[in-house]
Amino acid sequence: MHLSALLSLPASLALITFTLASASPHSYTEHLHLLPLPQSHLHAHFNFTATTPLSAYESSHFRYFPRSLAQILQHTRTKELHLRFTTGRWDDEAWGARPLDGTREGGTGVELWAWVDGGGSKTVAEEQWSEIVNSLSGLFCASLNFIDSTKTVRPVRLFKPEGDHGSEKGGLQLLHGMLPHEVVCTENLTPFLKLLPCKGKAGISTLLDGHKLFDATWQSMAIDVRPVCGTADGGECVLEIQQSVSMALSIPRSMRDRHDPIPRPAKIEDVECDESKPWNGHDTCFPKAVTGEPAWTLSKVFGHAAKGACDLERDPSAFDVTLQVPSGRSVNATGVSELTFPSTTHRHYRLSASSSFDLSLPACPSPVTPMALFTPPLYATRQIAGHGQERGSMHTTLRNPHAHPLTLVYMETLPWYLRPYMHTLRLANGKQEKMYYTPALDRERGTHLELVLTIPAQSTATLTYDFEKAVLRYTEYPPDANRGFDVAPAVVRVLSEQGGFGGSYVRTTSLLLSLPTPDFSMPYNVIILTSTVIALGFGSLFNLLTRSFVLAEEVPPSPLAGIIRRARDAVKGLLGKKTGGDEKESKAADAQAGETAEAPSLAKERTDGKANGIANGRADLRERKARVVP
């Protein structure tokens, strides 16, 4: 059985969609797939598909296809586009195979690859690629403009076109870039929803709440644009866009009270203890392992119920929601009509345009028929080993859990400051078929390593090589230089058709590389000290050489000072005219009263002065007396 059967649409739905697309080139469909996972998790996959005829696309006539994205594709001559926004990690060991064989997910951060028509010129294709990343950067509020030549590679065997390009396929050029440090947030979700015909106001897209989506353990948003031809009736080729959102939610975490989102430990009396443990006691409790599946409702997991249906030329026999649970599981649905399909594990629902849709599943302590999880085609891990700031080594582990060998393509995109020693490349317990290698150029392009490997059955292969760390210029370090530099995840594509794994993708997690980092406090101290010395020395010398010294009497009066003085005198004059008469009268009255009050005292002072003068023998009195006495 092919692994895509885990989340793929049934054959009946594929036939309905196929017939609808052939009957009406302008079509739009949406679908939600829900699958409970172990460890109290829930996987939800949203898919939105819109098509438009290529003739209408070339004449800029759009109905359901987003015009803003179509104009970018037309201007840059992009024939096929794939864009991914991913955060978190899918747990292969616990949850099994990846949704849709990993074809609708990307590496951590942002991943973009596209086929462009460069007219046979690499320079023209690179210019169009630059326009693509800059335009998409503004459209999705992301840092895609940082995908420059140092982060762009040209894969050889990893990706294959998904669309029907006909005779143009030979002239198309594939370019690929990743930004592992990009943080995906609601600023990317809002433009994503605006590309939908219902703009997130109706249908299953109303369940996409940023607080719930980015609180998930793992989530991936994907946009795929491709031409589709070869319909059964030989109809016109159409341009198809698929927008998908896939997430793995923790049910207890998502159902927390929104008014009190802080996680708090359960009360001791609410914890069920495992009494079979030898260390269990009256003061010691070992929690019992959770068994079965918890109760959950769609409105509590996503914050609210789905608000009606996005009713745009829907086929009466199509459905909007699929719930994949055992047949013995009790399910309560409101606002929908359940459809009957020949399946024991799938329940299909069609939304009503006038009522809200909600699902409720009670707790199931022990599932009657546990859901079987598909084994992943490959387990891949990657880590950096070594110590010191000069060199290190890369270790990649590829484990084949199946009873047949696997042939795969392994690709790494390394930054230019991580310089691998290819003579140290070693593959243990595996066979290297081919290698495509493009060395890095400092500050111009990164390293592109692509290997075709064969992993034996039931075995683990280890790929290792040594590398050297470059020393950057101090202006090339980010503000958080001591955090490290992100290395893009490796991408693996399974080529073997045996076991139904052909075309499956597996991506490792991104890595954190620590480079030799200078002590940025020392340049700061040097800059401050030298600036102070230069300011004191040069400033003093400059003043002595350019300033002229004169006496204060030689300095001419400032025109501004004269203006201020004249204005002050004018104000004083105006105030003096107004209060001058009153002041004169008051001064005359005061003077007259003073003379009247001082007259007796002045007479007394004169008499006393004469007496004192005679007694003290003043010269003027003695002279006056001498003139009187003969």
Closest CA to 43 of 305, 323, 319: 323
Cβ neighbours around 195 below 10 Å, total: 20
pLDDT confidence tier of residue 591, bands split at 50, 70 and 90: low
Q: Is 3's pLDDT higher than 90?
A: no
* Cβ partners under 8 Å of residue 2, min gap 6: 8, 500
Look at residue 496 in the predicted model and tell me its pLDDT: 79
Q: Which residues contact 558 (CB under 8 A, 6 or more apart)?
A: none
What average pLDDT does this structure show over 189-197? 94
Quick check: 274 and 286 in contact, CB under 8 A? yes
Q: What is residue 475's predicted lDDT score, i.e. its pLDDT?
A: 87
Average pLDDT over residues 422-428: 95
pLDDT at position 570: 87
CB 429 within 8 A of CB 479: no
- What per-residue confidence (pLDDT) applies to 622? 47
**HEC assignment per residue over 232-294:** CCCCCCEEEEEEEEEEEEEHHHHCCCCCCCCCCCCCHHHCCECCCCCCCCCCCCCECCCCCEC
Of 358, 292, 290, the C-alpha closest to 325 is 292
User: Does residue 386 surpass a pLDDT of 70?
Assistant: yes
Using a pLDDT cut of 90, give the percent of the chain over it.
50
Residues 6+ apart with CB under 8 A from 619: none
What is the model's pLDDT at position 125? 94
Average pLDDT for residues 505-519, to the nearest whole number?
92
Q: Is the dihedral of CA 51, 53, 58, 59 positive or negative?
A: negative
Residues listed for the chain: 630
SS3 137: helix
Q: Which of 359-363, 433-437, 445-449 is least confident?
A: 359-363
pLDDT at 342: 59
Share of the chain above pLDDT 70, in %: 84
Q: Grade residue 464 by pLDDT with cuts at 50, 70 and 90.
A: very high
Q: Over the stretch 323-366, which tens digit does the pLDDT of each residue have?
A: 988 877 888 888 877 776 657 788 888 888 888 999 998 887 76
> Comparing 582 with 331, which gets the higher pLDDT?
331
Residue 613 confidence (pLDDT): 46
Q: What is the DSSP string of 336-402?
A: EEEEP-S-SSEEEEEE-TTS-BEEEE--BSS-SSPPPPPPPS-EEEEEEE--SSSEEEEEEEEEE-S
Closest CA to 314 of 202, 230, 233, 219: 202
Of the listed ranges 247-261, 457-471, 603-617, the least confidently predicted one is 603-617
Report residue 422 as tokens: 């290819």
If one counts every other C-beta atom within 10 angstroms of the C-beta of residue 155, the result is 19
CB 41 within 8 A of CB 248: yes
For residue 589, what pLDDT is reported?
A: 54
Q: What is the Cα–Cα distance from 352 to 310, expressed in whole angstroms?
A: 9
Residue with tokens 């030799």: 516
CA atoms within 13 A on the CB side of 287: 10
DSSP 8-state code for residue 441: B
Angle in degrees, CA 20, 114, 164, rounded to 5: 40
User: CB neighbours (10 Å) of residue 188?
Assistant: 18
| More confidently predicted of 548 and 347 | 347
The two tokens of residue 321 are: 């929601």
- pLDDT tens digits for range 57-74: 999 998 999 999 999 999
Q: What distance, in Å, lies between the first and last C-alpha atoms of the chain?
A: 162
Enclosing H/E stretch for 74: helix 67-76
Mean pLDDT of 148-163: 93
Q: What is the pLDDT of residue 605?
A: 52
User: How much is the mean pLDDT over the chain?
Assistant: 83
For residue 218, what pLDDT is reported? 95
Task: Please determine, for residue 253, whether its predicted confidence score (pLDDT) is greater than 80.
Answer: yes
**511-513 and 238-250: which strand pairing?**
unpaired
**CB of 85 closer than 8 Å to CB of 142:** yes
Residue 420 scores a pLDDT above 90: yes
The answer to whether 163 and 242 have CB atoms below 8 angstroms apart is: no
Give the pairing of strands 238-250 and 172-179. unpaired
CA distance 151 to 164: 28
Contact present, 223 and 81 (Cβ < 8 Å): yes
Residues facing 45 on adjacent strands: 33, 246
Q: How far is CA 347 from CA 32, 34, 317, 365, in A?
A: 12, 10, 14, 21
DSSP assignment of 496-560 equals --TTS-TT-EEE---EEEPPP---THHHHHHHHHHHHHHHHHHHHHHHHHHPPP--GGGSPPPHH
pLDDT over 60 (residue 319): yes
Q: SS3 of 586, please?
A: helix
